[in-house]
Amino acid sequence: MSDFICAYQERAEMALSLYLPSGDDEPCRLHQAMTYSVLNGGKRIRPLLVYAVGLMLGASNDSLDAPAAAVEIIHSYSLIHDDLPPMDNDDLRRGKPTCHKAFDEATAILAGDALQAHAFYVLADNEHLTEKQRVKMLIILTEACGSLGMAGGQAIDLESVGKALTLTELENMHRLKTGALIRASVLLGAVAGNADAKTFEILTQFAELIGLAFQIQDDILDVEGETALLGKQAGADQTLNKPTYPSMLGLQSSKEKMQYVYEAALNTLKQLDFNTAWLYELAAYMVERDR
Ligand code: IPE
Ligand code: IPE
Ligand code: MG
Ligand code: MG
Ligand code: MG
């Protein structure tokens, strides 16, 4: 793994520990479920995107900690709810029992609710960003996790079980359930770095493409990956009859599609007049990963 990725995964861990409430504070069980589900070895791809974009544009480390933590807190909440029995009913997450298994279903629902609210608090209450930046970031993040973003994508995912989607419908579902938060991560970095309109536009294109490549790889790993390495149950999509790229295109064509979208994402970076080295490294990490 690159030095950038190692160093900023560590920074993201520190920011998350700092911003999360302690498990010793009342109500302890709820706070413990929250920290259990966030501080548990995720890859921290979304914070890494915030840092890579923001630093590329000249933002300071300090100004990126809150947006990086906020988007990862939202992501962690989405995973807690994604794993619940009425959704994907998974027992394993990041190599450990899912939140509802380690605690109980009601606590897992509340931990997700509280994490979502807390993410917005972390972003709003931050002295390293201007008020204008904070409002822009709040709009980006709320849009990305609401009914026209992640939650909407999850609704489509659940409605689509056992159905034959068109490729356009599948891509739209991925764009919302996973793409929206990846896109938001890139845009939070762009706001912190005061990107001009043209840069913002190019970064949006990059984010949308790399977000799609990322979820295609997630679908591929569900087929090809090993549970022990993935830290989550392999083969879960097939068991639940989920529409995925491999289920629609087969494994080989899914890999070709992923490669095509990944290269398109890298091509957008060529239009930027900034040092994109870290974004290249991160894009490679997002698709070459085995967990
Ligand atoms: C998994 O996301 C869920 C999806 C949205 C595909 P990640 O692969 O980023 O999971 P963690 O955060 O590293 O556990
Ligand atoms: C999850 O997609 C997307 C969100 C959590 C919003 P998946 O259901 O494919 O994620 P995994 O495979 O359980 O991590
Ligand atoms: Mg799911
Ligand atoms: Mg799932
Ligand atoms: Mg998956």
Q: Is 90 in the pocket of ligand 1 (CB under 6 A)?
A: no
- Position 106 scores a pLDDT of 98
Residues in the chain: 291
Closest CA to 211 of 172, 183, 171, 253: 183
pLDDT at 1: 83
pLDDT tens digits along 217-256: 999 999 999 999 999 999 999 999 999 999 999 999 999 9
Contacts of 268 (CB under 8 A, 6+ apart): 202, 205, 206, 209
Q: Rounded distance, CA 28 to CA 34, Å?
A: 10
- Which pLDDT score is estimated for 162? 86
Question: Rounded to an integer, what distance in angstroms lies between the CA atom of residue 81 and that of residue 105?
Answer: 10
HEC letters along 218-252: HHHHHHHCCHHHHCCCCCHHHHCCCCCHHHHHCHH
Whose tokens are 């009914």? That residue is 147
Q: What is the dihedral of CA 43, 178, 185, 79, to 10 degrees?
A: -50
3-state secondary structure of 95: coil
The confidence band for 28, taking pLDDT boundaries of 50, 70 and 90, is very high
Beta strands in the chain (DSSP E): 92-93, 96-97
Say yes or no: CB of residue 76 within 6 Å of ligand 2.
Answer: no
Greatest distance between any 2 Cα atoms in the chain = 51
CA–CA dist 47, 87 (Å, integer): 25
Q: What per-residue confidence (pLDDT) applies to 164?
A: 87
Q: 190-229: b or e for each residue (b if 16 or more CB lie within 10 Å)?
A: bbbbebeeebeebbbbbbbbbbbbbbbbbbbbbbbbeeee
State how far the Cα of 262 lies from the Cα of 284, in Å rounded to an integer.
Answer: 8
pLDDT, tens only, 153-204: 999 999 999 888 999 999 999 999 999 999 999 999 999 999 999 999 999 9
**CA 121 to centroid of ligand 4, rounded, Å:** 26
pLDDT digits 0-9 by tens, 94-113: 999 999 999 999 999 999 99
pLDDT at 66: 98
User: Is the pLDDT score of 54 beyond 90?
Assistant: yes
Mean pLDDT over residues 7-30, rounded?
98
Give the pLDDT of residue 34.
98
Express as a percent the part of the chain with pLDDT over 70.
100
Q: Is the CB of 73 under 6 A from ligand 1?
A: no
- How many other CB atoms are found less than 10 A from the CB of residue 238? 13
Does the C-beta of 46 come closer than 6 Å to ligand 2?
Answer: no
Average pLDDT over residues 31-38: 98
The tokens for 220 are: 């591929």
Is the C-beta atom of 178 inside 6 A of ligand 1? yes
Cis peptide upstream of residue 27 (ω within 30 degrees of 0) = yes
Name the average pLDDT for the chain.
97
The average pLDDT across 257-279 equals 98
Atom of ligand 1 nearest to the CA of 214: 6
